[in-house]
Amino acid sequence: MESILASSLLAKVTSVATLAKAGGAASGSFLAGLSTTAVTVGAVPVVLGAVGFTGAGITASSLAAKMMSVAAIANGGGVASGSLVATLQSIGAAGLSLSSKIAVGSAGSALVALVV
């Protein structure tokens, strides 16, 4: 179940990146790659907030709340440290570190290159 929810989150990030690419610079250009990376990194906090991972905690009745419920049931009542839900909540609350921004930007650019 958690993998389905993660796939849904990935689909939203891909959708945002694809829409940004459609209105951006010529495909394959340096500018297109740079803008795709920036949009991908910039989209992460927006998408996480939209699905319920916020600075104030997990939003009630959101996709994040459902993910947390599934993770807690699977783990005997608590969300395990280092799990997908815990990591996404940490990013939603504190943002991405520099190394994470580089990793997400690179992965997003590669993903968009495959989509387009």
| Gap between the Cα atoms of 51 and 14, Å rounded | 14
| Gap between the Cα atoms of 111 and 95, Å rounded | 21
pLDDT at 57 over 70: yes
| Gap between the Cα atoms of 61 and 86, Å rounded | 17
Backbone angles phi, psi at 76, to 5 degrees: 80, 25
| Gap between the Cα atoms of 92 and 69, Å rounded | 17
Structure-token pair, residue 38: 């920036």
Q: State the pLDDT at residue 66.
A: 95
Q: State the pLDDT at residue 100.
A: 74
Q: State the pLDDT at residue 42.
A: 74
pLDDT at 32 over 90: no
Highest mean pLDDT among 13-17, 77-81, 99-103: 77-81
